[in-house]
Chain A
Amino acid sequence: MSHHDAIIIGAGHNGLTNAAYLAKAGLNVVVLEKNDYIGGAASSRELHDGWTYSNHSYVCSMMRQAIHRDLDLGRHGLILVPYLGTVNFGDGDERLFSYHDEEAEHLELKRHSPHDADAMHRFQADLTRYSQLIRKTLMRTPPEPTSFRPRNIMELLWLAKKFWALGEKEIYEYVRFFTMSAADYLEDYFENDLIKAAMASPGIIGTALGVYSPGSSYILLHHVMGDVDGSIGAWGLARGGMGAISKSIASAAQGFGATIQTNAAVQRVIVKNRKAAGVVLENGDEITARIVVSNLDAKRTFTRIMDRNDLPDGIYDKAKNFRIRGSSGKVNIALSGMPKFTGVPDNKYLNRGGQGFTGSLETMERAYDCWKRGRWSDDPFVESVIPSAWDPTVAPVGQHWMSNFVQYCPPKLASGPWSPEKRDAFGESVISKIERYSPGFRDLIVHMEVNTPHDMENKIGLTEGNIFQGELTIDQLFFNRPFPGYGQYRMPVKNLYMCGSSTHPGGGVSAVCGANAAREILMDLRLTNTVPEDDFYDE
């Protein structure tokens, strides 16, 4: 039996961030990871000779610079490289190229619709304005709206002030934005279906909603409010894969003295006198601590590793009903060469970006219909990136790794349990979708890793394979995340905290949940805060 100041369950990037800040404050911290590798959903592993896949998350935009800078992650080997153009493929021959240059981008939009090319300016301005307000709340602990503690009142006032500053019209727009569907929201701006589909696609990524489902417009915003070096909405790749993010944070945490223990699955949290006091590992080892921080999702934390009898009334049910529905698959493909796509010029910049096999709003909605019926989509939405075109470290020279994010794929099939055959069939649906736009694609395949939501739950412990650790809908956002009344990282059992994406501000590899939780913990322990403020306010 060993004793620590703090135990963090799960070495995903948020758990590691939490550990780094607690250790920086002088606490004796241990991070327990069930797998033999760290990183959780932000991990990169070599599964085929010479190819390192980012097995799950694959691009990065929300990682807060304040944390990157404060933990000096550059010195710990992290470099984030923004990527350029993207091609969106329509159902037929239409191709929408997204160029890095504003003027070129405008001309390209004009080719599809002069109206939409103009409307894009207003769309971008509006979206930037909305995201600025939300960005300001990211690295702050949400206030409890029913509490009269001065801190909560101050925070509510701060928020109200920012909100009222938008003006009456914008406040109505804002509320609409949170409750609308992505498709309806875009209707006000665009007429071209491929443009609408391309703009709507961030609204469904990772969520079990369709482009026409209310709430998907917020998901859209969630995906565009990040930035790479101040360019809001830009996405980048981590050199070495997403695992490089986790590794660099781990290295920073270890630099502050934190210990990371792999192959250490937690069986249950020990609660004594209604206080969390440690954990029991699956191998029977007991580790005690002053505080326990769970980086697992809310459902897993309260229904798997907590004894129901240790929880106050109602919590178990809240956790059981926490909406955390898996909807996406991730297919990593090793390729012997660079695929060629029909209708796309041999423009190395354009081909260095992503591919959006978006089709149309109709196709995306039909793909969602399949999910509702417990099947993977016949004609899925696939968002792809070829990181090896940028990153010389992830595939042999001249060969490539294509990361394919697939929607929709259910965690439970109507036809019975997942099996290796069904997983292969799901993978095949992705190959045939890409092959449609890239004849000969199949012949380039050297190796594949297919992750269904079921696989993601088994490998990295995301309930139902939900990439955000819980739906990002207004009932589960901000002070409602994970549950109303528990939005400040403190959980219903004393000395128990949560630091994963089930907490504010949700998923997206931002490292913010872990940092915010650390700030609250240090406050409770009456230690000096080590977590930086977000200093990117002067936008």
Chain B
Amino acid sequence: MTTTDPYAGERPKLSVFYPRAKELNIRDAWSVWNGYKFADYYYDAEYEYFCIRNLCATYDICPMQKYEIVGRDAETVLNRMVTRDLKKIGLNRVAYCVWCTDEGRMIDDGTIFKLANDRFMLTCGSPCTAWLRKSAYGFGDVTITDVTDSIAALSIQGPTSCATLKRMGLDGIENARPFDIMHFPYHGKSLMVSRTGFTGDLGYELWIKKDLGLQMWDALYAAGADYGIQPFGEAATNMARLEAAFIMPAMEFNEALRTVNLNHDQTPFELNLGWLVDFDKPHFSGRAALVEEKKRGPKYTLIKLDIEGNRPAEESYIYNDKRCKGEEVGYVTSAMWSPAVKANIAMAMVKTEHVKDDLWAEIYYSKELRQYSRIAKCTRKTKAFWAPDRAKATPPPDF
């Protein structure tokens, strides 16, 4: 007798790596990302964070959206969509990009892989088929395919990640520079490795056909056993990316196409991503508005703060008067105590004219059911909180 699960339609999908991840998720700490069952953490968020900073750890990026854009017009289509000039991106290179509405408001960020002159892969956090199709409207030779479910993708990050890949047999991987793509023959198919990641540390992302996914996982974990390999989930990712001062949707920015109140979304300039906007290239979506924005200056600017004390300034308002009595000049988007830097770090959206003021955060926290608040001085930082030399070195050190 066969029974059908009446709830099958609303259960989360399972990633290619689920059979392994399930065994390693000792705490059964799951949530959902893009419809996939996804780990918040496997053992302990802080432990996993330290694996990223001290050993190596893997992050399942199967649920991340992946699109293949193929055809003679592929580059033109993408170049019209994103703010960066893709013509400057070499073959087998990855480019971090953002794309905006006509109003110059940010829709999403992601990475574009140039796999051939007429073949690209776009990866991003949220589904974007509709916007891609809109961008391709009117172009003849371009095919857009959502390949999310056919690729097994795994990120490996941390100081021993290169050593682990070498031990796995990926000869020459140490020569990959940041944002390089390399291809390795793997059981009759191809294993693509990019030197990319979302942790600010040395790291790589592995891309392979779905049916070889588990085999690749096993080979990677066998190679990494002596290098401390460990899976990490959303919680540790969020810690590492904040130390690297990388932005996160629904934290630093509200995706423009999902924004109700049109003051609630952001421009690349507000997010400190002006370096990704290239006015020297032909027309792209949002160009005119961004030209205007650049001239006028952004209303808000995302800044990095080191805040006194050790209480994370989560959801705090930022003031430019010591008593925090006046009108607030900004708000914290992400905050944490950074174990690696030993600092109370945060990113905050502050009205541009107040960016250089003396700033204070009003921090609320609770302890044994009691509420407390504290006013803490903020110091502005200009560089990423965490940026080890190994993240840029080629070849990188073994640990």
Partner of B44, one of A81, A101, A392, A393: A101
Closest approach, in angstroms, between the C-beta of B245 and any C-beta of chain A? 15
> A81–B46 Cα gap in the complex (Å)?
10
Bound: A73/B339 CA distance, A: 12
Verify B160–A392 contact, CB threshold 8 A: yes
Tell me if B55 and A392 are in contact (CB < 8 A).
yes
Contact stretch, chosen from B125-133, B275-283, B303-311 = B303-311
Check A65/B310 contact, CB under 8 A, given A74-B340, A79-B340, A398-B226.
yes
User: In the complex the two chains form, is B342's CB within 8 Å of A391's CB?
Assistant: no
Q: Report chain B residues within 8 Å CB of A397.
A: 163, 226-227
Check if A229 sits within 8 Å of B399, measured CB to CB. no
Given A69-B343, A84-B44, A538-B374, A390-B228 contact (CB < 8 Å): yes
- B374-A84 in contact (CB<8A): no
State whether A538 touches B372 (Cβ < 8 A): yes
Q: Is A536 interfacial (CB-CB < 8 Å)?
A: yes
Q: Which of B322-372 contact A (CB under 8 A)?
A: 337, 339-343, 367, 372
Check if A299 is an interface residue, CB within 8 A of chain B: no
Question: In the complex, what's the smallest C-beta–C-beta distance from B68 to chain A, in angstroms?
Answer: 37
Q: Which residue of B lies closest to A74 (CB)?
A: B341
Nearest CB in chain A: distance from B344 CB, A: 9
B342 touches which one: A68, A84, A101, A389 (CB < 8 A)?
Answer: A68
Q: Which of A349, A389, A536 contacts B310 (CB 8 A)?
A: A536
Q: How far is the CA of A229 from the CA of B163 in the complex (A)?
A: 29
| Contact among B54, B227, B309 with A239 in the assembled complex (CB-CB below 8 Å) | B54
**Is there an interface contact between B54 and A101, defined as CB atoms closer than 8 Å?**
no
Instruction: Give the shortest distance, in Å, between B378 (CB) and chain A (any CB).
Output: 14
Task: Establish whether residues B399 and A393, one from each chain, have CB atoms under 8 Å apart when the complex forms.
Answer: yes
What separation, in Å, do the CA atoms of A454 and B278 have in the docked complex? 69
In angstroms, how far is the closest chain B Cβ from the Cβ of A269?
A: 35
Nearest CB to that of B226 among chain A residues? A398
Interface membership of A110, Cβ < 8 A:
no
Interface residues of A in 380-436 (CB under 8 A from B): 389-393, 397-398
Q: How far is the CB of A313 from chain B (nearest CB, A)?
A: 46
Size of the chain A interface, CB-CB below 8 angstroms: 28
The reply to whether A535 and B228 contact each other, CB–CB distance below 8 Å, is no
- Residues in chain A near residue B311, CB distance under 8 A: 538
Tell me which residues across on chain B come within 8 A of A228, comparing CB atoms: 339
B53 within 8 A of A: yes
Contact B46–A82 (Cβ < 8 Å):
yes
Select which of A80, A229, A391, A536 is within 8 A of B46 by beta carbon: A229
Q: Is the CB of B54 within 8 A of A229?
A: no
Which residues of A have CB within 8 Å of B310? 65, 230, 535-536, 538
Which residues on the B side are within 8 Å of A65 (C-beta)? 310, 342
The distance in angstroms between the C-alpha atoms of A230 and B53, with both chains bound, is 19
| Chain B residues with CB under 8 A of A82 | 46-47, 50, 339
Write out the residue numbers on chain B whose beta carbons fall within 8 Å of the beta carbon of A74: 340-342
What is the total of A-B residue contacts with beta carbons within 8 Å? 66
Main secondary structure of the interface of A (DSSP, over half): loop
> Which residue of the partner chain, among A390, A393, A538, contacts B309 with CB atoms under 8 Å?
A538
With A84-B44, A229-B337 in contact, is A535–B309 under 8 Å at CB?
A: yes
Q: In the complex, A232 Cα to B372 Cα: how many Å?
A: 20
A100 at the interface (CB under 8 A from B): yes
**Smallest Cβ-Cβ distance to B374: which chain A residue:** A538
Q: How far is the CA of A68 from the CA of B337 in the complex (A)?
A: 14
Give the residues in chain A near B47, CB-CB below 8 Å.
Answer: 82, 84, 100, 349
**Chain B 135-176 interface 0/1 with A at a Cβ cutoff of 8 Å (1 = within):** 000000000000000000000000110010000000000000
| Distance in angstroms between the alpha carbons of A7 and B341 in the assembled complex | 31
Question: Is B27 in contact with A101, judged by CB distance below 8 angstroms?
Answer: yes
Decide: B54 and A100 in contact? CB cutoff 8 A: no
Q: Is B33 an interface residue (CB 8 A)?
A: no
* Contact B339 A229, beta carbon cutoff 8 Å: yes
Closest to B344 in A: A69
How distant is the Cα of A446 from the Cα of B227 in the complex, in angstroms?
Answer: 21
Contact between A100 and B44, CB atoms less than 8 A apart = yes
Q: Across the interface, which residues of A come within 8 angstroms of B227, CB to CB?
A: 392, 397
Contact with A along B6-39 (1 / 0, CB 8 A): 0000000000000000000001000000000000
Contact A349 B43 (CB under 8 A): yes
Distance between Cα atoms of A82 and B43 in the complex (Å)? 14
Bound-complex Cα distance A69 to B342 (A): 5
**Given known contacts A79-B54, A100-B44, A230-B310, A392 and B159 CB-to-CB distance under 8 angstroms:** yes
Expressed in whole angstroms, the Cα–Cα distance for A349 and B342 within the complex equals 24
Render A197-235 as a binary contact track against B, CB cut-off 8 A, 1 for contact: 000000000000000000000000000000011100000
B220-258 vs A: 1/0 string, CB under 8 Å? 000000111000000000000000000000000000000
Please name all residues of chain A whose beta carbon is closer than 8 Å to the beta carbon of B340 when the two chains form the complex.
Answer: 74, 79
Closest residue of chain A to B227 (Cβ to Cβ) is A392
By a CB distance below 8 angstroms, the chain B residues around A239 are 54
Bound-state Cα–Cα, A73 to B308, Å: 17
- A69 CA / B309 CA spacing, docked (Å): 11
Contact with A along B252-293 (1 / 0, CB 8 A): 000000000000000000000000000000000000000000
Q: A389-B228, A535-B309, A538-B374 are in contact. List 11 more A-B contacts (CB 8 A).
A: A81-B50, A84-B44, A84-B47, A229-B337, A392-B227, A392-B398, A393-B399, A397-B226, A535-B308, A535-B310, A538-B372
Leading 4 A-B pairs by shortest Cβ distance: A392-B399, A398-B226, A69-B342, A229-B339
Q: Please list the residues of chain B having a beta carbon within 8 angstroms of any beta carbon in chain A.
A: 27, 43-44, 46-47, 50, 53-55, 159-160, 163, 226-228, 308-311, 337, 339-343, 367, 372, 374, 398-399
CB<8 Å pairs between A and B, sample of 8:
A65-B310, A81-B54, A100-B47, A230-B337, A393-B399, A535-B310, A538-B309, A538-B311
